[in-house]
Amino acid sequence: MHPLMVHFPVALLCIALILEIIDWRGKSGKLKDAINILVLVGAGSAVLAVIFGWLLASEGEYGGDSLEIHRWSGIATMVFSLITALLIRYNRVAAFRSFLFLTVFGVSFAGHYGAMLTHGDDYLSSVLPFSKPEKPGAQEADFVLTNNGALSPQQVQELNVEVRTILAHNCYSCHGEQKVKGDLRLDSKDRIMKGGEDGVVVIPNHPDKSELIRRISLPSGDKEAMPTKGKRLTEKEVTVLKFWIEKGALWPDGKEKSIYRVAALEPRMPELPAASGDIVQPIDRFVNVYFQKNKIEWKPVVNDRIYIRRVYLDIVGLLPPPEKVEAFVADQHPDKRAALAKELLTRNDDYAQHWLSFWNDALRNDYTGTGYITGGRFDITKWLYTSLEVNKPYNWFVKELISPVKGSEGFIRGIKWRGTINSSQRTEMQAAQNVSQVLLGLNLKCASCHDSFISDWKLADSYAFANIFADTLLEINRCDKPTGKIAGTKILYPELGEITVNASTEKRLRQLADYLVQPKDGRLYRTVVNRIWAQLLGRGIVEPVDMMDNMPWSEDLLDWLASDFEKNGYDMKKLILTIVTSKTYQLPSSSVKEPGDIMANSYKFTGMVRRRLTAEQFTDAISTSFKPMYSDSAIVFNLLPEKIKTKIPFARAALVKNDPFLTSLGRPNRETVSTSRTSQANLLQALELTNGNKFTQTLKSGAKEWIVKYPTTDTLVTELYKRALGRNPVPKELAAARKILGTKPSEEGIQDLVWALTLVPEFQLIY
């Protein structure tokens, strides 16, 4: 009877407003009597709705901010509706229309919060096809399906994250802080074990006797089945909960914080394992320990042709010239690989132009897009390029991002969005989210709307951190609704230092920068070395790279790299050199069957993960091996330091504005932080490489030049293979190319051959 007695009559007020608008626009007055009846019935039902709603709330199943907002917005709606009814009687038309509008707004506002109480905060978004719930950093606990023995501490932790996530996404809307049906709450150990008004729901070690398992296992049509609303639990989710109870309903002692792994903040220099044979470099020693533990055999390192191509693309983003490849292969010096890496790292402009893309993605720096037209966004390109070119120490790099110098303030200022925005998108909150994500490997985005389901960070923590960047203290908004509470001003890790609350914004930012770059902030340096490792080897030591509380596959290796980075003066090039000269980096690449496998807990490191060229690498590879894809006029010279304009032999893709071609190959729009790019081919990429105008025009113009320069088929094919793949074509390849080109090359044949060559894995992948 609830929908009939409450929802339907109150909704008549909305119909009354629609009829009033129709009647007013038509200037007929024919609908006046119907409107009067609807308003009177609606006002009366609003009174009944408030009375019954108050009684329902007193049953104790509801609570929290949403209840209070629903309660008082409902009362306000009732008052508005009664005033509207009185205005009809006294024929105050203008005032009547105004209050009718306010009444309908109140009905909608109160109804929204009523739905949140009944169905949960995500009652709208959860049913949309593109809706994706928050995922924990750890993958689903696959060991649940196979483990019959005792759980390790790490497995206990993973299991608790799984259980907490399942309960949060499926049960908190009725059995959480905002609503407590049946006197049962499932958001803490004590409350779960206490049970509800019908008794205990979890009996440790006995899933078959636990009411929780019985309820979630009932068919959807059963009146006792849980959840009562929304999607039922999946078979795997039910299995996880059964397994959890079977193992004793394990739950960490002490605070809820211990449910999630929290990585140590302080640095640690682990003892260096002993050398063994040719395993002498520190990275290799730690990896050797890992290999021995996981029964993995060392494989022979890759040949010279693979290494030179790999290290060229990783350090300067370019294909090695054919003459460099041949000279390197012929060189018999035992240290030639280290010498090559050192030489590439001295090519400051090439290095800067390549790594510019990596940092542009992470720091949301782009050359066009949202905010630039309205002046709500500022680029940091000159500062960033110069910082990379001079190899600015990372601690100073970070300080100048947080406590800006001229040219670097764009990162902190973020994007000032036009129009009405979500409170979590205001510039101060963007700064808090971006600093925590990029520099500390910490996700505050979930905790910018509500207490996070995937970590211990609370809404108040996010606002306290955002207040460091704010000129005035921010009011906490929960799910974009004001709470009336003001957060303090606090760094995320108070042990690093205390922010002076009443200081100017400039001074607070200076304090924050000084605190974060301290040597004792091991998290800052673990985060960056993990990012560089992931960039060079295809997967981080910790994954995802933005969730540094996850377990690394080698904690000792990560800690050693971070400590060595600090000991070497935060020198990014020395870090890269250390990695690319290790035997570990030179191992053969491996692949994964499914994209998700790279994030799985069962992942075993065996060497570099094979990856696709980035949009910029692919474009530059076309430019160096066949024909420049962009002219000098495409370069954003106005955003770059003056001195480099004469140093650019061709237009590098990192220096041009984004376009459909680069977008299709994975370059992000950079309106949000992007700290990784997918390495999987996709339909958009296939379409652009097949029919895209940019690529097609490059092939056409390049063919015109090649047909003049290389009039015979064999010389043309040989030169193209050398430039594109760093080797001569084998007889079978030469024969296939002759079929495409004929005895005398044509422009169309050259286009077809180049197109085919750029699509082969040997060209598109870094092996």
Quick one: pLDDT band at residue 614, thresholds 50, 70, 90? very high
pTM, entire model: 0.75
* 11-15, 293-297, 655-659: range with lowest mean pLDDT: 11-15
Q: Which residues neighbour 487 within 8 Å (Cβ) at sequence distance 6 or greater? A: 460, 463, 464, 466, 467, 473, 474, 476
Torsion sign across C-alpha atoms 753, 754, 756, 760: positive
CA distance 84 to 76: 12
Structure tokens at 271: 């003892």
pLDDT at 9: 63
Phi and psi at residue 477, to the nearest 5° = -115, 125
pLDDT at 129: 43
CA distance 398 to 90: 68
Q: Do you know the residue count of the chain?
A: 767
Burial (Cβ within 10 Å: 0-12, 13-18, ≥19) of residue 731: exposed
| Residue of 723, 766, 309, 326 whose CA lies nearest to 753 | 723
Q: Work out the average pLDDT over 442-471.
A: 90
CA distance 421 to 298: 53
Torsion sign across C-alpha atoms 331, 337, 342, 344: positive
pLDDT per residue as tens digits for the range 153-178: 777 877 877 888 788 777 877 887 66
User: What single letter denotes the amino acid at residue 181?
Assistant: K
CA distance 147 to 145: 6
CA distance 286 to 269: 12
Quick one: pLDDT band at residue 120, thresholds 50, 70, 90? low
Q: Where are the beta strands (DSSP E) in 51-109?
A: none
Using DSSP, state whether 4 is helix, strand or coil: helix
Q: Could you tell me the residue ranges of all domains in the chain? A: 2-119, 142-259, 423-516, 692-767
| Residue found by looking up tokens 């293979």 in the block | 721
Share of the chain above pLDDT 70, in %: 90
Q: Which residue has the higher pLDDT, 643 or 621?
A: 621
Contact 294, 592 (CB under 8 A): no
pLDDT at 70 over 60: yes
* 201-205, 332-336, 478-482, 543-547: range with lowest mean pLDDT: 478-482
DSSP state of 252: -
Q: Work out the average pLDDT over 703-707.
A: 96
pLDDT at 279: 97
CA distance 37 to 9: 11
pLDDT at 66: 65
Q: Where are the beta strands (DSSP E) in 152-294?
A: none
Strand-pair category, 481-486 with 475-478: antiparallel
Contact 36, 88 (CB under 8 A): yes
Q: Which residue has the higher pLDDT, 18 or 320?
A: 320
Quick one: pLDDT band at residue 136, thresholds 50, 70, 90? very low
On the question of a cis peptide bond just before residue 544, with omega within 30 degrees of 0, the verdict is yes
pLDDT at 133 over 60: no
CB atoms within 10 A of CB 516: 24
Q: Which residue has the higher pLDDT, 66 or 765?
A: 765
Q: Work out the average pLDDT over 668-684.
A: 89
Structure tokens at 381: 């390109």
Highest mean pLDDT among 39-43, 90-94, 530-534: 530-534
Distance of CA 395 to the CA centre of its chain: 24
Q: What is the DSSP string of 144-167?
A: GGT--SPPPHHHHHHHHHHHHHHH
CA distance 103 to 183: 34
Q: Which residues neighbour 443 within 8 Å (Cβ) at sequence distance 6 or greater? A: 436, 437, 452, 454, 455, 457, 546, 547
Task: Give the gyration radius of the chain's Cα atoms.
Answer: 31
CA distance 446 to 452: 5
Distance of CA 737 to the CA centre of its chain: 43
| Residue of 73, 55, 76, 172 whose CA lies nearest to 114 | 73
Average pLDDT over the chain, rounded to whole?
A: 88
CATH code, residues 692-767: 1.10.238
CB atoms within 10 A of CB 203: 17
DSSP state of 236: H
pLDDT at 366: 95
**How do the residues of the chain divide into helix, strand and coil, expressed in percent and rounded to 5?**
55, 5, 40
Q: Which residue has the higher pLDDT, 399 or 109?
A: 399
Q: What is the DSSP string of 709-758?
A: H--SHHHHHHHHHHHHHSSPPPHHHHHHHHHHH-SS--HHHHHHHHHHHH
pLDDT at 189: 81
CA distance 463 to 424: 9
Q: Helical H runs in 419-521?
A: 427-434, 440, 459-466, 505-516
CA distance 244 to 76: 46
pLDDT at 600 over 90: no
pLDDT at 159: 84
Torsion sign across C-alpha atoms 199, 203, 208, 214: positive
pLDDT per residue as tens digits for the range 343-363: 999 999 999 999 999 999 999
pLDDT at 142: 52
pLDDT at 762: 96
User: What single letter denotes the amino acid at residue 707?
Assistant: I
CA distance 211 to 359: 52
Measure Cα distances from 48 to 51, 54, 68, 81, 565 in Å: 5, 10, 18, 12, 69
Quick one: pLDDT band at residue 139, thresholds 50, 70, 90? very low
pLDDT at 466: 97
Q: Which residue has the higher pLDDT, 182 or 759?
A: 759
